[in-house]
Structure 1
Amino acid sequence: MNPVVVLLVAAGAAWESEALTRIDGRRDVVVLKRCVDVDDLLAAASAGQADVAVVGIDAPGLDAAAVDHLRHHGVQPVAVVPSDAVDAGRLRASRIGIPGVVGEAALHLLPDAVVAAVSTPDAPPTVPRGAAGTPLGEPVVPGAGSSGPRGRTVVVWGPAGAPGRTTLAAAVAAELAARRRRTVLVDADPYGGTVAQQLGILDEVSGLLSAARLATAGTLAEGFTAVQRALDQHLSVVTGLPRADRWAEVRAGALDHLLEVARDQGDTVVDTGPSLEEDGLDPGRPGRNRLTLEAVGAADELLVVGTADPIGLSRLARGLVELAEVTGGMPVRVVVNRMRPTLGWSEKDVAGMVAGFGRVASLHFVPDDRAGVDRAVVAGRTLLESGGSPVTRAVAAVVDSLHPPALPVPGTGAPPARSTPARSTPAGRRPGRGLRRRTAGRDHRR
C-alpha cells in the first residue's frame, strides 16, 4: 500500500514541529512539502502529487473556495484547531467544508485523521457537542440548536417576460412584516436584481455579494446582520447584484447557506431569475442559473407568477411544466398577475387554462393596478406603504394561503393583529426617499 502523501501549512504555529514528529513516526504517511501559506498550498495541490493537506484553521486565506480547490485536485483537507477554541474551530471547519478536525492538544491522533481523510473523502462535516446542538461526530443538521421556531422560505419564480416577480416578492414580504412576522427579502436574481431600486434603497455594496464573501469565509451566521438593510422593525432586505456580470462572485452553495441562516431569523422571501436551465459548461464551475436553481431547491413554498394575457399564460403553462421537472412535482401556488376585464375571459376561464400543467396547491389573481404600482415604484416604497390598492388586498389573500390568519379574539370578533407600516406618510405629504436613506442599514465589509 502506498503511503498517504501530505502537504502541511502551519503558518508559523507552535504545533508544526510536533505534527511533523507524529507523521514521521508512521510508515503509511509521508510529508511531501511544508508550505509557506495557503497560496503555496494551493499551488502545490495543483501538481496532483498529494493526497491530504494538513492546515491550521486560522491560516490566512483558508476558506470554502480554497477547500474546493484542494478537493478539485484530489487533496482532502484536515484542520488543526487551537486547544483553547476547539468548539469554535470545529464549527468554522464545518462551515467551509472540512470534515476532519484535530485539536492541538490531540496531535497524536493526526496520522490517523490523515489516513481516514483518504479512506472516507466524502464524510459529512462534524461539529462538537454544544457548537451547533449535535454530538461530536454526527453530521451537522442545518438549523440545529437555533432558539425558537424557524422561519419558512417563500421563493417567487416566474418565466421570462417580466410577469412581476420582484413586485410580488416585495409585496409578499411587506405583508408578512405587517403581520409582525420577522421577514427577510432576498434579491437572488442572477441577471441583475432590482429590489433595491424598487424600494428606494440607496446601497453602495450588494448584500448578496457581501453574504457570499462571508459564506465563503465561514462567518455568515455571525455577520448576517451586516448584509441586511432594515426597512422597519420587521422587514429587512438583502440587496442583489449591482451588475448582471457579477453573478460569478457568488460561489455555488452560498445562496443555500444564506437561506439557511435567514431561516433562523424568521421568514424569507426570495426574488429569483426566470431561467431554470442548467447552463454550466464545467461541473466544477456551475452556470449563472444555479442561483435560481438553489433558491427553488431550498423553497418551503413556491409562488409562481405569470401574466393574464395570452402570451403570459402560454409562458406560465410551459414554466409550470419545466418547474415540475426541476422540483419533482412539488405543489406550487400560482399567481396570475395583471388580471383585467378587457382580456375578455373570467377567472374560471384562466383557471381552466392553468389546470393540468402542474400540481397547483392554490390559484390567486392579482388585478391590474398600474397607477398604484407606479405610485409605489416612483416613491421607492412597498405597495402596502404607498396606500390602499386592489393589489395589496390580493397579495394579502396570497399570504393568507401561506400563513392562515389567527382566529379572532373570543367574544370580540376582532381580526388578528396587524402592524402599521413604520414609514406611513402623513396626509398631504408626498412620500419621498429621504427617510429610506436614513433607515437603511449600514454595510460592514469583512
Structure 2
Amino acid sequence: MICVLLLAAGEAWESPALADLEAHPGVVVLKRCVDVDDLLASVTSGQSDVAVVSLDAPGLDPASTAHLRRHAVRPVAVTTSRSDDLDVREHAQRLGITAVVGAGELASLASVVVSVEDAADTHARDGAAVEVLPDVVPAEDGADGGRVVVVWGPGGAPGRTTVATNLAWEVASRRTDVVLADLDPYGGAVAQQLGVLDEVSGLLSASRLAGAGQLDDRFASVCRGIGEHLAVVTGLPRADRWREVRAAQVDQLLERARASAQVVVDTGFCLEEDVGSDFGGRPGRNALTLAALEQADEVVVVGAADPVGLTRLARGLVDLRERAGGIPVRVVVNRMRSSIGWSEKEIAGMVEGFSRVAGLHFLPEDRAAVDKALVSGRPLAEVGDSPLVQGIAALADALFPVSVPSVPAGRRRRGRRPR
C-alpha cells in the first residue's frame, strides 16, 4: 500500500487527481494538505510514502523537498505547463524533484506515484545509494564532516548562550573551524555577546537563500567571520520574526555548516509543539529548537546551580529524554558556588537520578569575569584565564576531541582571538 499526501495549493487539477489516485489499487490518499507547512508537519508522522505537490505551491523550496526526503517521502510534482518545458525542468531540478507530471499527463499521475515508490524499494533492496539533493549531503558523525553540538537548557536564563558562545570560541582558538549558529526563536543574543554589530541577521539570510536554492553556494555570505576559524550565524533581530524561518531551512543550514566545520548551536528553552500545527497551521515557534535537536550529534543541557535552577534542570532532562531519543546528553551545571551548600557529588546524584548522561560538568560562578566580557563584547578567554575558562576548555575537550591540542593543556596560551 502506497500512502500519499496531496498538496494542490488550490489548483484546478486537485479534484480529478484525487479521484484517480483513490481509484488506483494500492494507493491511499492520507491527507489533502492546505499548504507547505502542513505538508512538512504531516510527513514527520512517518506514515506517508509519496507527496504529490503543485510545482508552483507557495513556499515550496529546496529545503522543503530535503525535509521530505529526510523522512523517506518521495516528491512528485504536478504542473499546468508541459513537463518537458525547459523552465519547468529547471524549476523542478532546482527544487530537487525528478518526477514531474505536466499538462495533458494527469491521467498518468497514479502510475508515476507507483513507479516512484517501486524505484525507491528497488534501491533499498539492492543496497543502492539513496537519492539526495545535490546541495544537501549530510555527513556522518565524525566522518567527512563536523559534529553538531546543540546547547539547550530550561527556562530561567541558566547560561545557554554564554556556554555556547564560549564553547565555540574555545574550539576555534585551537585552529579548528567552527560555525556558531544562533537558533533561539525568542531572540538571539550571540551577536551581542561577541560584540557583533552587524544589522543583517545571518539566520534570516540563510532562510531566504535556502528558499531560493542558493544556500550551498552562498553559505559564506550568511556567516560573520571572527578570526580565521570562527564563523557566526547571527540570530533573529526581533523575537517576532521567528515566523520567517522554517524548520526545514534550519535542517539545510546545519547540514551545510557541518559539511565544512564543527557546529555549535544556541537554542531556545521550550520544547513544546504548537498545537495549531496539528490542524494544518504553520509549525510553531519552537520548531527551530526541535529541528536543531533532530540534527544534534550531542546535546549539552545547561542548568543553574541553585534550588530553582536544579528543579528546572531535572524537569528539563525528563522532557528532553522524550524528544532526544538516543542522542547523547551532557549536563553542565552552571554558576556552581559554595554558598549553595551542596557538593558536586550531591548534585551529580540528583542529575543521574533523572537521566542517564554522557558526562557531567560544573562551571564555577565568576560574575565579575562574565560581566566584564559582556560589557566589552568579548569572550571570557580574552578577559583572562580563570577556573571558568578552564571548565569550558574541559567541556570542549569532551565534545570536540578532534580539537584537543597535542601540547599539555596547562601550556596553552589564552586571551587570543581565534586565528
Query: Given the two structures, how large is their TM-score scaled by the length of structure 2?
Result: 0.72
- 1:334-372 Cα offsets, whole Å, 9 max, x none, are 000000111112111111111121121100000000111
Offset at 1:421?
Answer: 6.5
User: Comparing 246-255 with 155-164, which one deviates more in the overlay?
Assistant: 246-255
Q: Tell me, yes or no, if structure 1 residue 211 matches structure 2 residue 206.
A: yes
1:335 is matched with 332
Offset at 1:385?
Answer: 2.2
Offset at 1:138?
Answer: 3.1
2:367 is matched with 370
1:100 is matched with 99
1:259 is matched with 254
2:131 is matched with 138
* 1:92/1:219 contact within 8 Å kept: no
Q: Cα distance 1:66–1:118, how it changes in 2: closer, same or farther (>3 A)?
A: farther
Offset at 1:53?
Answer: 7.0
- 1:168-219 Cα offsets, whole Å, 9 max, x none, are 0001100111121110100000111111111111121111111111112222
What SS does structure 1 have at the residue aligned with 2:401? coil
Query: Which ranges of structure 2 fall in alignment gaps of 5 or more residues?
Result: 1-7, 12-19, 22-34, 36-50, 69-74, 121-127
* 1:183/1:236 contact within 8 Å kept: yes
* CA distance in structure 1 between the partners assigned to 2:342 and 2:358 by the alignment: 22
Determine which of 307, 312, 329 is the counterpart of 1:315.
312
Offset at 1:394?
Answer: 0.1
* 2:195/2:377 contact within 8 Å kept: yes
Q: Cα distance 1:91–1:152, how it changes in 2: closer, same or farther (>3 A)?
A: farther
Offset at 1:241?
Answer: 0.7
* CA distance in structure 2 between the partners assigned to 1:67 and 1:405 by the alignment: 33
* 2:381/2:414 contact within 8 Å kept: no
Q: Tell me, yes or no, if structure 1 residue 395 matches structure 2 residue 392.
A: yes
What SS does structure 1 have at the residue aligned with 2:272? coil
* CA distance in structure 1 between the partners assigned to 2:118 and 2:276 by the alignment: 27
* CA distance in structure 1 between the partners assigned to 2:84 and 2:156 by the alignment: 51
* CA distance in structure 1 between the partners assigned to 2:364 and 2:392 by the alignment: 10
- Amino acid across the alignment from 2:77: P
* CA distance in structure 1 between the partners assigned to 2:256 and 2:199 by the alignment: 23
* CA distance in structure 2 between the partners assigned to 1:384 and 1:124 by the alignment: 54
Offset at 1:221?
Answer: 0.9
Offset at 1:387?
Answer: 2.0
Offset at 1:239?
Answer: 0.6
What SS does structure 2 have at the residue aligned with 1:185? strand
Q: Tell me, yes or no, if structure 1 residue 384 matches structure 2 residue 378.
A: no
Q: Cα distance 1:341–1:420, how it changes in 2: closer, same or farther (>3 A)?
A: closer
- 1:42-82 Cα offsets, whole Å, 9 max, x none, are 9xxxxxxxx97775xxx8978429989xx9xxx95247577
Q: Tell me, yes or no, if structure 1 residue 150 matches structure 2 residue 121.
A: no
* CA distance in structure 1 between the partners assigned to 2:311 and 2:341 by the alignment: 16
Q: Tell me, yes or no, if structure 1 residue 250 matches structure 2 residue 245.
A: yes
- Amino acid across the alignment from 1:196: A
Q: Tell me, yes or no, if structure 1 residue 297 matches structure 2 residue 299.
A: no
Offset at 1:384?
Answer: 1.8
Q: Cα distance 1:421–1:261, how it changes in 2: closer, same or farther (>3 A)?
A: farther
What SS does structure 1 have at the residue aligned with 2:169? helix
Q: Cα distance 1:61–1:281, how it changes in 2: closer, same or farther (>3 A)?
A: closer
Q: Cα distance 1:357–1:60, how it changes in 2: closer, same or farther (>3 A)?
A: closer
What SS does structure 1 have at the residue aligned with 2:383? coil
Q: Alignment RMSD, CA only?
A: 4.1
* CA distance in structure 1 between the partners assigned to 2:107 and 2:338 by the alignment: 73
Offset at 1:164?
Answer: 0.1
Q: Cα distance 1:344–1:288, how it changes in 2: closer, same or farther (>3 A)?
A: same
Bigger fraction of residues in helix: 2
- Amino acid across the alignment from 1:143: V
* 2:397/2:404 contact within 8 Å kept: no
- 1:365-416 Cα offsets, whole Å, 9 max, x none, are 000001111111111111122221221100111111112367886xxx7669
2:171 is matched with 176
* CA distance in structure 1 between the partners assigned to 2:53 and 2:110 by the alignment: 11
With CA pairs under 8 Å and 6+ residues apart, which has the higher RCO, 1 or 2?
2
Q: Cα distance 1:118–1:60, how it changes in 2: closer, same or farther (>3 A)?
A: closer
What SS does structure 1 have at the residue aligned with 2:385? coil
- Rg larger in 1 or in 2? 1
What SS does structure 1 have at the residue aligned with 2:358? strand
| Identity within the alignment, % | 51
What SS does structure 1 have at the residue aligned with 2:150? strand
* CA distance in structure 2 between the partners assigned to 1:184 and 1:308 by the alignment: 28
1:47 is matched with none
* 1:152/1:268 contact within 8 Å kept: yes
What SS does structure 2 have at the residue aligned with 1:282? helix
Offset at 1:418?
Answer: 6.4
- Amino acid across the alignment from 1:213: R
Offset at 1:151?
Answer: 0.6
* 2:180/2:233 contact within 8 Å kept: yes
- Amino acid across the alignment from 2:137: G
Q: Cα distance 1:245–1:108, how it changes in 2: closer, same or farther (>3 A)?
A: closer
Q: Cα distance 1:124–1:183, how it changes in 2: closer, same or farther (>3 A)?
A: farther
* 1:178/1:418 contact within 8 Å kept: no
What SS does structure 2 have at the residue aligned with 1:253? helix
* 2:384/2:415 contact within 8 Å kept: no
- Amino acid across the alignment from 1:100: A
2:322 is matched with 325
Q: Cα distance 1:121–1:160, how it changes in 2: closer, same or farther (>3 A)?
A: farther
* CA distance in structure 2 between the partners assigned to 1:90 and 1:167 by the alignment: 43
